[in-house]
């Protein structure tokens, strides 16, 4: 038999799984609760199930108070810790002031003192500050959002009933966000009020959202640029973008990262101490937390291959990277595939390989505007921090030209002593031990690792790709080719084919979506520049990658650079001798010539290095003052070699003197 009475009331709030829920429907032995989080669907209970869940503690009555001090409602838990502390403090003073003001029991000074004693607040607010807080609190309909800093206000959420939320969004869309609309926020409020007055919404017993609530929803859901675009057109939105010049702030980690590269102001040496040059540093920085998520140091010129390696390092966990480095005491918890990446407008960020890699990983690319340096402020600022916080303390640092002219000892090519691996250790140690734990004004004096961990508790990074799949997606080479009937895919004078590729061809054959002016289907494939023995063919329907090997074993383990050299040698022999040689023979000859070339250069380099060291040692001996050993000096005294008339002393350069007349006396 169904329970006849329900203990709940419409509009009552309950806590389920640490979330706030509101009762929206009670009828016909059914209780409907909606979560304050929009993405979670409503739940239904019978009267008996609801009562049992409340009795067993699965459904709780929320307690918004600590030590009799009222707390803000449940949604403030999603904010950063330092913001929550400010809200909690102001909310405590204002709510106590509201109670005491209505009852006229105690004065304002006594009300402030009572709250300060409970909070152990050594700096309580003045009467004027409390009155200003109270006025703002009333403007926000006695809601704790009155105390949120402005830069967090547009990202904060409210406890508006989900049904009222839908009505409000519909009114905004149909009345306010319309081209050349004459409706103001007051008109939107009136339309919502008329809708809520209808009989089907009478059970809600909800107040009409205020103008400030609608304004916050506009800022939160659409943003200034989108509002102008809908009301005034695309041209007006572009003008506003030019005026603002700064992208919108993300609300969680890995929502947007920034990537950039620079030549480091530090010289690196090889294993023999010979200066090699200044390496290129590629950095990826999370915009929300300012954590460095990816690092790549290389002597190669910036290219798609280089920046894709930095993205790979950003996605993978960092424990293997810092394992074995001494004096690591901090944490580097960054990992995961970012939702968006902000790049420059230069060639390697506009390449096909870079675009295909982002497409495979489902990363949205945002290109910074030309001549707008603020477009990537986070990574640009991090480069400055690396320069001033790490590089200027390392040997080999490149000082300004004026300083090097004044003091020749600061020549970076003379003072450089770090190899590339040693430099990487210094860089990783600085990131983990210092940069991650350095308080930043851009984070309201919080540490990047604290901001990352707070957001990590609510937003788990996406990391659903295997290492092999990630390697394939980040290969810097991609092309389109047809799948031929018997030869498979022809590339670099060889054929790649197997039964799996033949089945793919049979499935795609004759379908218009997969052919371009040819009967054979066209697919994308990638190859590893370090090994031309196999390729990865992408199934255009499932987006899965198929590994296909070539039957010519000459290509197994053959790098693309070596193949190009062999191809040039083959063409040269054909032009000079008119003789055709196979790829295998060309590769063998190329390897032999490269070995002789490298060996000869190595010998010359060793001789030059040995001559330079010998010259330095000889010069050092010449510069040192000559001093005899003590035993040699004593023997010279005993033998009389120091005397001017001693025959053995004639060989010295000392001046000769006649015997003194005092000797005769």
pLDDT tens digits for range 364-383:
988 876 655 445 556 666 65
Tokens of 622: 């010449």
- Dist CA 61 CA 15 (whole Å): 6
pLDDT digits (tens, 9 = 90+) for 343-356: 888 888 888 889 98
User: Is 304 in a helix, a strand, or coil?
Assistant: helix
- Dist CA 276 CA 267 (whole Å): 7
Q: Which residue has the higher pLDDT, 599 or 306?
A: 306
pLDDT higher than 90, residue 314? yes
Residue 172 DSSP class = I
> pLDDT over 90 for what percent of the chain?
13
pLDDT value for 289: 92
The candidate with the shortest Cα–Cα distance to 28, out of 44, 51, 11, 40, is: 44
Class of domain 257-456: alpha beta
Give the gyration radius of the chain's Cα atoms.
38
Question: How confident is residue 665, by pLDDT bands cut at 50, 70 and 90?
Answer: very low
pLDDT value for 635: 54
Edge-first strand listing for the sheet containing 478-482 = 478-482, 522-528, 531-538, 545-549
Which residue blocks in 16-161 are alpha helix, DSSP H?
Answer: 47-56, 81-103, 108-119, 127-139, 150-153
pLDDT digits (tens, 9 = 90+) for 583-630: 888 888 888 887 776 555 555 555 555 665 565 566 555 555 444 444
pLDDT value for 51: 77
- Dist CA 625 CA 106 (whole Å): 91
pLDDT digits (tens, 9 = 90+) for 478-503: 888 899 888 899 998 899 999 999 99
Distance linking the first and last C-alpha atoms of the chain: 147
Strands 257-263 and 340-343: parallel
Chain mean position to CA 277: 27
User: Is 22 in a helix, a strand, or coil?
Assistant: strand
pLDDT value for 42: 84
Average pLDDT over residues 80-106: 78
pLDDT value for 239: 80
CA distances, 490 to each of 486, 537, 548, 604 (Å): 10, 12, 12, 42
SS3 content of the chain, % helix, strand, coil (to 5): 50, 15, 35
Average pLDDT over residues 421-433: 88
- Dist CA 281 CA 296 (whole Å): 6
Per the CB < 8 A criterion, the answer to whether 172 and 166 are in contact is no
Per the CB < 8 A criterion, the answer to whether 544 and 503 are in contact is no
pLDDT value for 598: 59
The candidate with the shortest Cα–Cα distance to 526, out of 488, 565, 485, 491, is: 491
pLDDT higher than 90, residue 535? yes
Burial class (CB in 10 A: 0-12, 13-18, 19+), 240: middle
Mean pLDDT (the chain) is: 77
Residue 418 DSSP class = -
Question: How confident is residue 83, by pLDDT bands cut at 50, 70 and 90?
Answer: confident
pLDDT value for 653: 44
Q: Which residues pair with 77 in a beta bridge?
A: none
DSSP E strands in 371-415: the ranges are: none
Residue 14 DSSP class = E
Q: Which residue has the higher pLDDT, 627 or 573?
A: 573
Q: Residue 313: CB partners within 8 Å, gap ≥ 6?
A: 284, 294, 295, 296, 321
Largest distance between two CA atoms of the chain: 147
pLDDT digits (tens, 9 = 90+) for 121-136: 888 888 888 888 888 8
pLDDT value for 278: 82
pLDDT higher than 60, residue 160? yes
- Dist CA 101 CA 91 (whole Å): 15
- Dist CA 365 CA 381 (whole Å): 21
pLDDT higher than 50, residue 295? yes
The domain segmentation of the chain, as residue ranges, is 13-56, 67-148, 162-244, 257-456, 477-558, 628-665
Per the CB < 8 A criterion, the answer to whether 603 and 596 are in contact is no
Concatenating the DSSP letter of every residue in 577-639 gives: H-----HHHHHHHHHHHHHHHHHHHHHHHHHHHHHHHHHHHHHHHHHSPP---HHHHHHHHHH
User: Is 298 in a helix, a strand, or coil?
Assistant: strand
pLDDT higher than 70, residue 397? no
User: Is 663 in a helix, a strand, or coil?
Assistant: helix
Chain mean position to CA 338: 8
Q: Which residue has the higher pLDDT, 315 or 58?
A: 315
pLDDT value for 247: 64
Question: How confident is residue 534, by pLDDT bands cut at 50, 70 and 90?
Answer: very high
pLDDT digits (tens, 9 = 90+) for 626-660: 444 444 544 554 555 444 444 444 444 444 434 43
pLDDT value for 38: 62
- Dist CA 658 CA 665 (whole Å): 15
Average pLDDT over residues 205-211: 81
pLDDT higher than 90, residue 315? yes
The candidate with the shortest Cα–Cα distance to 189, out of 204, 205, 177, 175, is: 175
Edge-first strand listing for the sheet containing 43-45 = 13-16, 19-26, 31-35, 43-45
pLDDT higher than 90, residue 79? no
pLDDT higher than 60, residue 49? yes
């Amino acid at each position: 038999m169904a329970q006849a009475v329900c203990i709940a009331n419409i509009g009552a709030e309950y806590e389920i799984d640490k979330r706030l829920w509101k009762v929206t429907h009670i009828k016909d032995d059914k209780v409907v609760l909606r979560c304050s989080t929009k993405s979670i669907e409503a739940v239904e209970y019978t009267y008996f199930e609801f009562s049992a869940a409340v009795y067993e503690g699965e459904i709780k009555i929320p307690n918004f108070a600590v030590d009799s001090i009222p707390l803000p409602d449940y949604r403030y838990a999603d904010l950063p810790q330092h913001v929550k502390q400010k809200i909690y403090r102001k909310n405590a003073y204002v709510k106590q002031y509201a109670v005491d003001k209505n009852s006229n029991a105690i004065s304002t000074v006594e009300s402030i003192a009572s709250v300060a004693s409970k909070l152990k607040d050594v700096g309580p607010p003045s009467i004027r500050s409390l009155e200003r807080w109270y006025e703002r609190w009333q403007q926000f309909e006695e809601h704790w959002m009155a105390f949120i800093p402005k830069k967090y206000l547009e990202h904060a959420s409210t406890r508006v009933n989900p049904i009222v939320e839908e009505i409000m969004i519909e009114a905004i869309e149909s009345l306010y966000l319309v081209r050349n609309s004459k409706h103001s926020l007051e008109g939107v409020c009136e339309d919502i009020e008329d809708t809520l007055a209808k009989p089907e919404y009478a059970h809600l017993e909800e107040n009409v959202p205020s103008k400030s609530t609608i304004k916050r929803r506009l800022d939160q859901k659409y943003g200034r640029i989108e509002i102008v675009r809908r009301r005034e057109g695309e041209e007006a939105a572009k003008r506003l973008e030019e005026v603002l010049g700064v992208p919108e702030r993300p609300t969680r980690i890995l929502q947007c990262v920034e990537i950039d590269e620079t030549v480091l102001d530090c010289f690196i040496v090889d294993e023999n101490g010979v200066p090699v040059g200044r390496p290129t540093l590629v950095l990826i920085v999370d915009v929300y937390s300012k954590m460095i998520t990816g690092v790549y140091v290389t002597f190669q010129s910036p290219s798609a291959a280089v920046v894709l390696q930095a993205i790979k390092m950003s996605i993978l966990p960092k424990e293997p990277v810092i394992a074995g480095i001494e004096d690591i005491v901090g944490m580097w918890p960054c990992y995961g595939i970012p939702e968006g990446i902000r790049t420059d407008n230069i060639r390697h960020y506009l390449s096909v390989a870079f675009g295909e890699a982002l497409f495979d990983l489902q990363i949205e690319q945002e290109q910074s505007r030309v001549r707008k340096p603020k477009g990537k402020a986070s990574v640009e600022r991090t480069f400055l921090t690396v320069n001033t916080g790490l590089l200027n303390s390392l040997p080999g640092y490149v000082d300004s030209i004026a300083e090097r002219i004044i003091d020749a000892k600061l020549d970076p090519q003379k003072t450089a002593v770090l190899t590339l691996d040693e430099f990487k250790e210094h860089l990783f140690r600085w990131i983990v031990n210092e940069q991650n734990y350095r308080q930043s004004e851009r984070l309201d004096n919080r540490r990047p690792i604290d901001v990352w961990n707070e957001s990590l508790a609510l937003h788990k990074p996406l990391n659903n790709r295997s290492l092999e799949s990630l390697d394939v997606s980040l290969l810097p080479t991609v092309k389109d080719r047809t799948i031929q009937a018997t030869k498979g895919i022809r590339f670099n004078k060889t054929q790649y084919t197997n039964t799996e590729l033949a089945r793919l061809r049979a499935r795609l054959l004759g379908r218009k979506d997969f052919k371009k002016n040819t009967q054979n289907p066209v697919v994308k494939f990638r190859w590893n520049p370090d090994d031309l023995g196999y390729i990865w063919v992408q199934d255009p329907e499932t987006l899965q990658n198929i590994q296909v090997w070539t039957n010519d074993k000459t290509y197994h383990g053959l790098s693309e650079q070596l193949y190009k050299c062999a191809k040039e040698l083959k063409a040269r022999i054909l032009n000079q001798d008119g003789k055709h040689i196979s790829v295998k023979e060309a590769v063998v000859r190329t390897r032999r010539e490269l070995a002789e070339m490298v060996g000869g250069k190595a010998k010359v380099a060793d001789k030059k290095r040995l001559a330079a060291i010998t010259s330095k040692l000889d010069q050092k001996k010449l510069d040192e003052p000559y001093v005899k050993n003590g035993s040699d000096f004593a023997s010279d005294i005993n033998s009389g070699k120091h005397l001017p008339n001693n025959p053995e002393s004639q060989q010295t350069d000392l001046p000769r003197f006649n015997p003194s007349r005092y000797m005769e006396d």
